[in-house]
Amino acid sequence: MSPIKSAAAVLAAALFFPAASRAAEAPRKVEIVSVSGYEPSFAVTFAMPFEHLLKDTTAISVEGVESVPARFSGNAYSYRPAKAAPDAGGETAALENAEGFFVLSPSDPELLEAFLKTARAYPLLPPTFRRTARELVQGDARTFSIDSPRKAAKQERATLASVYHLKIDGRPVDAVFFLKVTGGLGRLATAVGELPPAPRVLVSRGTWGFRSEKTTLRGRALWEALEKMGVRVSAVGRGELRHWDEMTSYRKDHPDGVRFVAANLQSSGLPGKVVVERGGVRTAFIGVTRMSYAKYLGRGGLQGVALSSPLTAVRDLVRQAAQEIANRYAQQ
């Protein structure tokens, strides 16, 4: 699941007009990309064909299965099981698909190839690829740095390692699944960084930093991170309302940063519309706040602020923006 979505659900309207144009010019285009936060998660189906393989292989016994906290930065994963199989480390092989990585400690090429064949035949699994890796051993701690063409944000984050403690003809081997985390700021930064060069505006639908979204950043620190990623416009949701004083401070110190719009948030000091220019195209964004968020008003800096009908607020601003377009063309 990608944190980049269509722009339609984020802001009430986006109206386009050339910053300076002649009638004969070809139409100019600007790309609007909407980003949002959602709870980080991971999938566990990568291990399902492996368990089928173990049941069908008499030479392998399962001594135990352990879920171990792991840390990762980019494609380097570190974990420390309760008792690791003896291993000297060094160059080894790995498998990768969209859900995670698979390694064996110590290496067992025969089992790895058998699992690759089984995984590729498994109907519910995304395509699985062979990779190379380097293993660093420090006591029971293990770090696998995996060579993958798929980029990952170099931001240290937490995930889970599923460790199968095996014996293969009496020899201890740990089969380890590192689960890829989707969602959160790290994934967003990676997805935005992979966008091809083009005139675009990044906008946010708001609601970042609410308790159901387990990002490590809140309030001002979050908006500063989004600004660095290139987000320029944001609607006002429950996350912004819950951190109103921090948002006020951020706006004061970052006048050219993320611009918050709320057409139906009366007496808030926020504009209902902002205009951003990219690639010779001026884009007007209108934001609205859900009426159900009125429960967050009436406290701290939100005293005296009220919500009005979003339909009425949008209608008035669309008319205003349309008139601005007409006036601009009349002057050309």
For the chain, how many structural domains are there in total? 2
pLDDT at 96: 97
Does residue 313 share a domain with residue 294? yes
Is 204 within 8 Å of 35 (Cβ atoms)?
Answer: yes
pLDDT at residue 4, rounded to an integer: 40
Q: Whole domain around residue 211: which residue ranges?
A: 4-39+183-331
Return the DSSP state at 86.
P
DSSP sequence for 9-50: GTSSEEEEEESS--TTSPPP--EEEEE-----B---GGGHHH
Element (H, E) at 322: helix 310-331
User: How far apart are the C-alpha atoms of 314 and 252, rounded to whole Å?
Assistant: 26
Among 113, 144, 179, the domain-final residue is 179
Q: Are residues 147 and 275 in the same domain?
A: no
Structure confidence at residue 2 (pLDDT): 41
198 and 169 together in one domain: no
User: Do residues 244 and 270 both lie within one domain?
Assistant: yes
Are residues 262 and 321 both part of a single domain?
Answer: yes
Q: Do 303 and 197 belong to one domain?
A: yes
Q: Same domain, yes or no, for 121 and 246?
A: no
- If one counts every other C-beta atom within 10 angstroms of the C-beta of residue 138, the result is 10
Question: Using N-to-C axis directions, what is the helix angle for 48-55 and 109-121, rounded to 10°?
Answer: 120
Indicate if 187 and 327 belong to the same structural domain. yes
Residue with tokens 């285009």: 29
Clarify whether residues 136 and 81 are in a common domain.
yes
Task: Give the per-residue pLDDT at 25.
Answer: 62
Final residue of a structural domain among 117, 152, 179:
179
The residue from 179, 194, 228 where one domain ends is 179
pTM of the complete model? 0.62
Do residue 200 and residue 326 come from a single domain? yes
Predicted pLDDT of residue 5: 38
Per-residue pLDDT 10s for the chain (332 aa) are 344 433 333 443 444 444 444 455 666 788 888 887 666 677 889 999 999 999 999 999 999 999 999 999 889 999 999 989 999 999 999 999 999 999 999 999 999 999 999 999 998 899 999 999 999 999 889 999 999 998 776 667 788 999 999 999 999 999 999 998 877 777 777 778 888 888 899 998 887 654 544 556 778 888 898 899 899 999 998 889 988 999 999 999 999 999 999 999 999 999 998 888 888 888 888 999 999 999 999 888 999 999 999 888 888 888 887 787 777 767 76
Co-location of 22 and 64 in the same domain: no
The CATH number linked to 188 is 3.60.21.10
Same domain, 116 and 139: yes
pLDDT, position 265: 92
CA dist., res. 9 & res. 73, Å (int): 32
**φ, ψ of residue 296 in degrees (nearest 5):** -90, -5
